[in-house]
A and B are shown apart, each in its own frame.
Chain A
């Protein structure tokens, strides 16, 4: 699972640059920084989702982003003629089609809380057993996680965990990609790297120093 993201770096950048170019063609000059930032963020999220392929969270994310009025032109630009088909493929189950929740847990919780109430009424001090507290905590935090992971609300248990794993890996990769783009932009704008052999070689050397280890591996041959 960790290895697959390496191969998607190209895909991510391709999508990301495409997204940026598309958003440029749709906006009027002068563009506000806020708009620019939103376009960059949107391109980046879409690129991450498209580069990953079809998983539960990517479908949820693309549906969510595509559902927003202001994003449709951008999405149409990126997907081109395939917009209709892709949106259908990435369409997400509607909220009412919920996965059956773990009713067993709820029942046993009610059981236990009833027992606890009876114990409290009997005059013993109002102790709640630690396992109940722990379970409450886990339930509460699971709810938070479900809100954070796109499409998480419809998942339970181990599928939620595996989607979270995948999502975190993709997020990390997205952050790394954007960092390298930022560094590349910084270097090229400050040094004004032109496309002649000596300068680009120097530019690459600078990037080697600036970038992380795995990208350094790519440079070993050059």
Chain B
């Protein structure tokens, strides 16, 4: 393998592909056909669905957070979640 450090090996690409494959939710995974085109299509549609979810959640939050003020009790709950 006369590959310089800047060249990406095929093994690394395969690793990236399998990681991406693992990220997709179960419903979208077809364990049999992990072809490049299939993976790209599923990744694209997954990203779009995540965008839609963010949009939807912003919608719902905008209804709940009425005056753009996250109250102290909510902030406390969230902070305790993170501890």
The size of the chain B interface, using a CB distance under 8 A, is: 49
- Cα(A200)–Cα(B74), bound, Å: 10
CB neighbours of A164 from chain B (8 A): 20, 43, 47
A194 at the interface (CB under 8 A from B): yes
Chain A min CB distance to B66 (Å): 9
The size of the chain A interface, using a CB distance under 8 A, is: 64
**B62 contacts A37, CB within 8 Å?**
yes
Question: In chain A, what residue has the closest Cβ to B60?
Answer: A182
- Cα(A207)–Cα(B73), bound, Å: 13
A contact set with B: CB distance below 8 Å: 9-10, 13, 17, 20-21, 23-24, 27, 29, 31, 33, 36-41, 44-45, 134, 137-138, 141-142, 144-145, 148-149, 157-158, 161-162, 164-165, 167-169, 171-172, 174-175, 178-182, 184-189, 193-195, 200, 203-204, 207, 211, 215, 218, 222
**A145 contacts B64, CB within 8 Å?**
no
**A180 contacts B68, CB within 8 Å?**
no
B83 at the interface (CB under 8 A from A): yes
